[in-house]
Amino acid sequence: MQEYYLNKNEIYYRKNEFQTDRPTLVFVHGVSGSSSAWWPYEKIFENKYNILTFDIRGHGKLKKFPNYSDYKIKNFADDLHNLVSYLNISKFILISNSFGSLIALEYLKSHREAVLANIFTSPEVYLGEGLLAKIVRPTFTLIKIFLKILPFNPRPRGHVDYTKHINSTDWDISRNLADMKNTGLRVHFYILRQSFRLNQEYNLEKINAPTLIIHGEKDSMVPIKNAIKFSKKIKNSEFISIPNIDHNTVHNAVNEMSKAMEFFIEKNKGNMLY
């Protein structure tokens, strides 16, 4: 895997040497993390598939943007489109985790024909509904006002080494602090606020590519019932729950996740024109 930058450090990405006779996997990480979340999967898959991982805006080795509007989900999806277009990737399998699932769903609205299959892990869906959203939205509004007063540093921070946080729980202080240090408070809360937006449109009825959804049974951030509801609304989707794993499926269930991903990809590979 080699690392690159696109558009004056506006997009950081990693890729292996692409081969025309194998599928391309594009990985989208979640809020406050970075592409380092996918390092174990790069090692597992880089000799089997074309691999592309990247830092979403405001994360990892990328500069920070100062305004809440900079972090609209559509902007993240546009970044993804700009990257795959630059690399001439016309067809790929889209793998997303947590907040990354919202980026994937936004991307699918305009570029569904490019996606051969979808894999959603711990999808951050339907957070805008329910009692919790009613509580946190006003709080995030107050935080947004407060953050504008604080000094802002746009410099890139780097990547979190998640090998130091193996088996950390949803609310593990050291891992969450490492994540927030990676993005800074402003970016972290701006994106969380996007997650809890009301009336998000997912266009699930239009998704017709093979779809796999993986969710931890002990997820305390995004209830598993949300993922089940999500799965039922996508035609012919497959759902896998992982016992004794919380929202950190990508870190704490690498073995289970990678096996499920590969089985799903190989099963559907015959129908993919990549």
Q: List strand residue ranges (DSSP E) for the chain, in order.
A: 2-6, 11-15, 24-28, 50-54, 92-97, 115-121, 211-216, 238-242
Residue of 168, 33, 153, 192 lying closest to 97 (CA atoms): 33
How far is the CA of 204 from the CAs of 36, 47, 176, in angstroms? 29, 32, 31
Condensed to tens digits (0 to 9), the pLDDT of residues 200-255 reads 788 898 999 999 999 999 999 999 999 999 999 999 899 999 999 999 999 999 99
Q: What percent of the chain has pLDDT over 90?
A: 60
Domain 2-271 class in CATH: alpha beta
Q: Is the pLDDT of residue 133 over 80?
A: no
Looking at residue 39, what is its pLDDT?
A: 95
Q: Which long-range contacts (CB under 8 A, 24 or more apart) does 83-90 make?
A: 83/6, 83/11, 83/13, 83/52, 83/54, 84/26, 84/52, 84/114, 86/6, 87/15, 87/52, 89/24, 89/26, 89/52, 89/114, 90/114
Looking at residue 155, what is its pLDDT?
A: 87
Contact in structure between 32 and 180 (CB atoms under 8 Å): yes
- DSSP string computed for 176-231: HHHHHHHH-HHHHHHHHHHHT-TT----GGG--S-EEEEEETT-SSS-HHHHHHHH
SS3 state at 47? coil
With cut-offs at 50, 70 and 90, classify the pLDDT of residue 262. very high
Looking at residue 274, what is its pLDDT?
A: 65
Contact in structure between 158 and 60 (CB atoms under 8 Å): yes
Q: How far apart are alpha carbons 8 and 11 in whole angstroms? A: 8
Mean pLDDT over residues 94-110, rounded?
96
Which amino acid is residue 200, in one-letter code? Q
Lowest average pLDDT, out of 1-5, 77-81, 141-145, 240-244, goes to 141-145
Domain ranges (residues) in the chain: 2-271
Looking at residue 132, what is its pLDDT?
A: 67
Using CA atoms of 2, 50, 162, 241 in order, give the dihedral in degrees to the nearest 10: 170
Condensed to tens digits (0 to 9), the pLDDT of residues 52-88 reads 999 999 999 998 998 889 999 999 999 999 999 999 9
With cut-offs at 50, 70 and 90, classify the pLDDT of residue 37. very high
Question: CA neighbours within 13 Å on the CB side: how many for 186?
Answer: 22
Q: What percent of the chain has pLDDT over 70?
A: 96
CA 85-4-71 angle, to 5 degrees, is 65
What does the block give as tokens for 262? 């590969």
Mean pLDDT over residues 140-160, rounded?
80
Q: How far apart are alpha carbons 119 and 94 in whole angstroms? A: 6
